[in-house]
Amino acid sequence: MTDLDRALGARAGGRCELCGATEALRVYVVPPRSAAPDTSVLVCGTCAAQLAGDAALDPTHWFCLKESIWSEVPVVQVVGLRLLARLGDASWAAELRAQIWVPDEVQAWADDVPAEAEPDVDAPTLDSHGAPLATGDSVTLIKDLDVKGAGFVAKRGTLVKNIRLTDDPAHVEGKVNGVAIVLKTQFLKKA
């Protein structure tokens, strides 16, 4: 266990600083900062997978923001504000955004999303072979993929039907083993 793990564990009381879970805790460094207690949060596996984009945002999971957004820890506020922005179409998220006030420096940090996190929405969504993908298409996995937070491996050759495009042309949403996940297009082939 590192000093950072100990510091965050003490600050968070051994719980995810976003949803309160106690299992599979890990450090999440808030981009574009480097690892330090005031630039990192302690999160559970479910929150980590959704923050990293490995899993689709689950609006019902993020109801927890109704409590954690009021944290007095600036880095927790930053993560909460960024998540609320990503959940823009959920009415409860818009209402919560309208209620929250944070100092200007916290708001500036929340708005400082790294350039690589901003997808090029004009770019086409292509599979690993350059074939264009559209909502409703079926794709095949070309590699075994560890589905973080769900506890299973999506096997090579698995057919994913009825995909949905996302705002990021490098990702699509689909269901594998009945679980909705975000898939990187570099590991997909149009079926």
- Domain extent for 28: 3-117
In a domain, 134, yes or no: no
In a domain, 33, yes or no: yes
Contacts of 72 (CB under 8 A, 6+ apart): none
Q: Is the pTM of this model over 0.85?
A: no
Q: Which of 5, 20, 14 is nearest to 61 (CA)?
A: 20
DSSP 48-87: HHHHHTSS---TTGGGGHHHHTT-S-HHHHHHHHHHHHHT
In a domain, 26, yes or no: yes
In a domain, 172, yes or no: yes
In a domain, 84, yes or no: yes
Quick check: 114 and 120 in contact, CB under 8 A? no
In a domain, 124, yes or no: no
Q: What is the pLDDT along the chain (191 residues), one digit of tens a residue?
A: 688 888 999 999 999 999 999 998 999 988 877 788 888 999 998 898 888 876 678 888 999 999 999 999 999 999 999 998 888 777 888 888 888 888 899 888 888 876 544 445 567 889 988 889 999 999 999 999 888 777 888 999 999 999 999 888 889 999 998 888 889 998 999 99
Secondary structure letter of residue 127 according to DSSP? -
Structural domain count of the chain: 2
Does residue 183 share a domain with residue 152? yes
Does residue 40 share a domain with residue 86? yes
In a domain, 77, yes or no: yes
pLDDT for residue 188: 93
- 186: domain CATH number is 2.30.30.40
Does residue 28 share a domain with residue 103? yes
Does residue 87 share a domain with residue 145? no
The whole-angstrom distance between residue 171's C-alpha and the CA centroid of its chain comes to 12
pLDDT tens, position by position, 94-134: 888 888 888 899 888 888 876 544 445 567 889 988 889 99
